[in-house]
Chain A
Amino acid sequence: MPYSVPPGFFEGITEKTLEKARQREKVRRKHVLIWRSMAIAASLTVLIVTGYLLINVLPKENTEQAAQNIGAGPQNEVQNGELAEVMDTLPVKEDFDNKETEINTVTGIQDEDGINDVLSSLTNEELMELAAMLASDMFMEETENNLQ
């Protein structure tokens, strides 16, 4: 072979290689340790920041938002004057009572007039039949009692 090696090269190469391997392993472990520490630090930071945001910032923001919506939101605001107008237009209990009395009075008058009209239009025979029915039919009797 046209190649030559330095004297004693093969005797020392095993130790040299093992030493190199040991050093490399040390460096590798150091890198792993650094990366792990960085990963743990990053995870803790994320956890702390998330916790802080959840506990302090977000609820405050929500409360402020809600307060804004309720209090001074220009779109949802009803002016006091407008509210009073609206309230005035709404019916109250007395209105309903009066209305009921009115309805009862009107219907009572109408009923009475209607019955008189019907009775006047009936012939004597028909009136006799009605009287007979009144005497025989218990429901008619009840209706009569109710009317009285």
Chain B
Amino acid sequence: MMMDTYKERIYWHIRRIVVLHEDAEDILQETFINAYRFIGSFNGKSKIYTWLYRIATNECIRMLRNRKKMNRNIEELTDKHTLKLSTTDMESGDEILVKFQNAILRLPEKQRLVFTLRYYDDLPYEDICYILKTSVNALKTNYHYAQEKIKEHMLNN
């Protein structure tokens, strides 16, 4: 079954973007419900997991934008996520990882998505192109800027 094969991979991708487990669970369910519903429109030109990544990423972006509309202040939302990350989800000895995750959360949306897909999921740029509908050059630029900003954050905080 498609869900059994890809659920963990897709879940962690979602979780790194939305941070909260409840949100990640909702989006994971939405992703697979949509995937089953529109499986007929999958033309097989891309790999099945990139198609699922694309659906999941779109759902994440939709949710984040809705949250931004509700919260208005993006900084406030990021701080809320960071606080949640450093209190309930932190495991012992993961302080550097939390700091790293905080740095990722402070990136602009596009850079955050590119960095997550490239760094954690280790996807080739061609697949990220399909998921985010962007050119390879734009992805490379975004990834470079993201790396620089994370480095800066890690050194200064």
Contacts and interface: CB of A to CB of B under 8 A. Distances in A.
A21 B32 CA distance: 9
A61 B3 CA distance: 69
B95 to A, nearest CB: 9
Contacts, number: 49
Interface string A1-45: 111111001100110110011001000000000000000000000
A46 to B, nearest CB: 34
Interface residues of B, number: 26
Contacts of B36: 21
Contacts of A17: 3, 28-29, 32-33
B69 to A, nearest CB: 24
Contact of A4 (B3, B4, B89): B89
Question: Which one of A10, A13, A21 has the highest number of Cβ atoms from chain B below 10 Å of its Cβ?
Answer: A13
A22 to B, nearest CB: 10
Interface in B91-116: 91, 94, 97-98, 101
B4 A14 contact: yes
Q: Interface SS of chain A: helix, strand, loop or mixed?
A: helix
B33 A2 contact: no
B94 A2 contact: yes
Interface of A: 1-6, 9-10, 13-14, 16-17, 20-21, 24
24 contacts: A1-B97, A2-B97, A2-B98, A3-B12, A3-B15, A3-B19, A3-B21, A4-B91, A5-B21, A10-B7, A10-B8, A10-B11, A13-B7, A13-B11, A13-B28, A14-B1, A14-B3, A14-B4, A16-B29, A17-B3, A17-B29, A17-B32, A20-B29, A24-B33
Given A17-B33, A21-B33, 10 more contacts: A2-B89, A2-B91, A2-B94, A2-B97, A3-B89, A10-B7, A10-B11, A14-B4, A17-B3, A20-B29
Interface of B: 1, 3-4, 7-8, 11-12, 15-16, 19, 21, 25, 28-29, 32-33, 36-37, 85, 89-91, 94, 97-98, 101
